[in-house]
Structure 1
Amino acid sequence: MKRKYERRHSRWYEVLLLGLGLHLLVGLPLIVILPSLERWGWEFWHYLPDVRTNTLIAISGAFMASALTLRRMSRYPGAQLAANIMPTVSIAFLIAVALLFFTREGYTRQVLFAGYLVSLAWFYVGYFIGRRFRRLKLALVPFGNTRRLLGTRQVDLRLLECPDLQGVRVDGIVADLRAEDLPAEWERFLATCTLCHIPVYHIRQISESISGRVQIDHLSENEFGSLLPPLIYVGVKRVADFIGALVLLPLLLPVMLVTAVIIKIDSPGPVFFMQPRMGYRARPFLMFKFRSMHHDMSGEDFTISEDDPRITRVGRIIRKYRIDELPQIFNILKSEMSFIGPRPESVSLSEWYEEDVPFFSYRHVVRPGITGWAQVEQGYAAEVDGMTRKLQYDFYYIKHISLWLDVLISLKTVRILFTGFGAR
């Protein structure tokens, strides 16, 4: 069959320039050579003792880890790649330094730091040059619910007027494959696109990738299977949570001690607030928090608003910057929580939501977290309408759970700590 349509970025030089090939063939040699020339001269490769070899390996590993992480994170909605470049590259190089330090291997600080700076420059220049080429260009089949989709800075949506791409190259075709009024010529068009290796997406897939939410009103039988996270990653994540909590505990204890003293001085009552929450596999557990409300005031199980009169002066500050959540590190050590996951709700609220929100109990298929996808995208929600939207974010996290999504949530959480987004 004669090829009728061509997919965008399908030519060999486009694959090379827009993929990891550019980082391997151009970026990596540049990152390694420039710092080496500045420190060791033009003939540095003629003499490579262990100190130089370790330094070059560390730079190479950190650079490729940064490139892979940024590429994977860019696939998620609201990734804000420019904002993630510096923290991603910094963390990668810090891990490289930590490995060299703990293995007691020698390295040259000047060359490693220069490699870090050149890496930052490489990724920032690449980001600003390639923004237009990285934006997805999708063609919409004008039947069913596709007209409701709205484009974003990451996705360019173009409505087709006839069953033909008219020489325009796109990354994919979006169609409502359940539309009852889809004419036969449009069905043949979709088949032709598939034969030309242009992917055809159901509207639901693209809607999820744009919004970062999974619609839960009509879940199909296939989607329930996708809500089961991979057991290998769940196990690895549990080990990482435990080790991370052990490492952070000595660093957080002084902060927690100062916070406890201030809470005790500010208002009478216990330092900690402990409440039964619904946890992993719908098992209740006792979650620890610093008390941020007056001890002798009753009310709802959730915060009514930012101006809730029950919140103390100190409580308003520690809630804004999430300091009240620090004691949950003990819940992580007890295997009741994770650093990242759906936010655990109180037992009473969970019972209420299960009556009014469809499929609410499926969020308990993973361990609840101190922070999560819903928290960084939506913020606080307590009412049923807000909880339904929050649950859509939670389902997206469960469906797409991975190291890369967890890294993205971690970076977003750090930014939120400085802005107080979504606090109540």
Structure 2
Amino acid sequence: MMNIKTDSMRHRALRSRTGGSETVRRVSRMVGWAVLGLALFAISAVGAEMAHRAGIVTYVFTRTLLWSVVPYLVAFMLLHRSLHLPAMEGNSLAGLAATLPFCGLLFAFAAFHIEYSRGALLLSYLITLAWIWAGYRRFVQNYVPLFGYTEPNTLAQLESILAMPGAAPPARIRFEPVGSLEDARHFDGLMVERSVTGDPERTRLLAHYKMSHVRMYSVERVGEMLTGRVGLAHIDENFLDDYAAHYLYGYLKRAVDIVAVLCLAPLAMPLGLAVAVAIRLETPGGAMFRQERVGLFGKTFVMLKFRSMGVDSSAPAMFAARRDPRVTRVGRIIRKYRLDEIPQLWNVLLGHMSLIGPRPEQAPMVEQFSETIPYYPYRHLVRPGLSGWAQVQQGYAGSHEETVTKLSYDLYYVKHCSLALDLLIAVKTLRTLATGYGAR
């Protein structure tokens, strides 16, 4: 359940003395933290220059440190651009924001044959990673935001969004009723109910708040920020507008999929051969399993997997249970570490699937869910994937209720899909491969 906390009088008094929007102050603190971090590079550069004069390092060491200021600043820009993602993803976000710019700098050094110091590059990367992680923890992840509300039933509506079977716990947040414009200025945002019938007085009041630089969020948007899920009972026509904004992103993602599969092929082919041999040695029958799944825009395709169960072509479509007796010994291992999905790289290459996206479901189950779960077909607006937001957040869905929760994660991805979110899912997928999280 949601944990509602109120501000202390001392904290509120401190906010009043500082003045201005709390959200603006938080952004200013993060910018100040980034500027303060430049002092670390200045100190390192001075130390490197002294070491160069002493003959300990070459001039390339100092030059590389100065070059590293660029990815350092880009890292903070990337982190700022990804703050729409739930704060509970902080460690992964900080790592991605720090790593990607330095990979880009390394690629630039190699592409233009620029001499650089590996030691200086590693030192700069570690400084950036530590500083950006500390800043994110201090000003974003560990900060408990305070939201105001004007309608008394707003919190109950938020509760209905947060409480879903099998969902990860929401981030921490505090709520207080808004008493005046002066109070509203000291909140991180004002949570409003879009479904409330508008009246002139309420409209004028909200416009007054907006003109005073008070950030305003719908209940649904606050729920998304806290959980990384979409409230299914509150989807409206604006959802399709959000999807349309990602039109060009699909072409770039397709190019990334093809390049990634070709790069993974030298590792996937011998590993897949070893899995196929292990399956054939344990049980009779073919090593490959083919099944009709539903993909982009509801079109069906044949998905490939390594067989992890006994051969039974007459078995109906159904959820896999915990400790399912149909799963073989080899099958239990390859399902735990997702090795049974190696053949799906071929589906990705053919364009049936993507590396990242909602997992494709069996055609009979899609027909059933489309009849019983509103907006279920919306998950087919994007290409299905090997791994998705629902898989790394929730794990396996083994019931109708958990499938509803899974859909709320899938639609969050459809609404907010971006390269930043794809990279976050990729990092969390590596954790899944290492731990076997969510397998059955």
Asked if 1:175 corresponds to 2:192, the answer is: yes
Q: Could you tell me how far apart the structure 1 residues matched to 2:423 and 2:141 are?
A: 25
Q: Contact 2:92–2:424 (CA<8 Å) still a contact in 1?
A: no
In structure 1, the partner of 2:346 is 330
Q: How far 1:329 moved relative to its partner?
A: 1.0
Q: Which moved more, 1:263-272 or 1:98-107?
A: 98-107
Inter-CA distance 29–78: structure 2 relative to 1 (3 Å threshold): closer
Inter-CA distance 273–50: structure 2 relative to 1 (3 Å threshold): farther
* 2:226 partner SS: helix
Q: Contact 1:135–1:153 (CA<8 Å) still a contact in 2?
A: no
* 1:301 partner SS: coil
Q: How far 1:216 moved relative to its partner?
A: 2.9
Inter-CA distance 365–124: structure 2 relative to 1 (3 Å threshold): closer
Matches within 5 A, 1:18-417: 18-19=30-31, 22-23=33-34, 25-28=35-38, 30-31=40-41, 33-41=42-50, 51=60, 55-56=64-65, 59-77=68-86, 79-86=88-95, 88-90=97-99, 92-131=101-140, 134-149=143-158, 154-160=171-177, 162-163=179-180, 165-166=182-183, 169-180=186-197, 188-296=204-312, 298-417=314-433
Inter-CA distance 309–179: structure 2 relative to 1 (3 Å threshold): same
In structure 2, the partner of 1:16 is 28
Q: What's the TM-score once normalised by structure 2's chain length?
A: 0.83
Percent identity at matched positions?
A: 34
Q: How far 1:126 moved relative to its partner?
A: 2.1
State the Cα deviation string for residues 257-283 of structure 1 (Å, max 9, x = none): 222221221222211111111111211
State the Cα deviation string for residues 176-205 of structure 1 (Å, max 9, x = none): 23235x897765543321121102222122
- Paired residues, what number? 411
* 1:231 partner SS: coil
Q: How far 1:174 moved relative to its partner?
A: 0.6
* 1:159 partner SS: strand
Q: Contact 1:229–1:366 (CA<8 Å) still a contact in 2?
A: no
* 1:169 partner SS: coil
Q: Which amino acid aligns with 2:109?
A: L
Q: Which moved more, 1:133-142 or 1:203-212?
A: 133-142
Q: What's the TM-score once normalised by structure 1's chain length?
A: 0.86
Inter-CA distance 37–258: structure 2 relative to 1 (3 Å threshold): farther
Inter-CA distance 255–27: structure 2 relative to 1 (3 Å threshold): same
Q: How far 1:365 moved relative to its partner?
A: 1.2
Q: Could you tell me how far apart the structure 2 residues matched to 1:81 and 1:218 are?
A: 27
Q: Contact 1:163–1:186 (CA<8 Å) still a contact in 2?
A: no
Q: Which amino acid aligns with 1:335?
A: G
Q: CA RMSD in A?
A: 3.1
Q: How far 1:287 moved relative to its partner?
A: 1.0
Q: Which moved more, 1:68-77 or 1:360-369?
A: 68-77
Segments of 5+ residues of structure 2 without an aligned counterpart are 1-18, 163-168
* 1:293 partner SS: coil
Inter-CA distance 334–393: structure 2 relative to 1 (3 Å threshold): same
Q: Could you tell me how far apart the structure 2 residues matched to 1:215 and 1:384 are?
A: 17
Q: Which moved more, 1:372-381 or 1:171-180?
A: 171-180
* 1:345 partner SS: coil
* 1:418 partner SS: helix
Q: How far 1:94 moved relative to its partner?
A: 4.1
Q: How far 1:384 moved relative to its partner?
A: 2.6
Q: Contact 1:70–1:84 (CA<8 Å) still a contact in 2?
A: yes
State the Cα deviation string for residues 223-255 of structure 1 (Å, max 9, x = none): 332233522111111111111111111122222
Q: Could you tell me how far apart the structure 1 residues matched to 2:384 and 2:436 are?
A: 21
Q: How far 1:34 moved relative to its partner?
A: 4.2
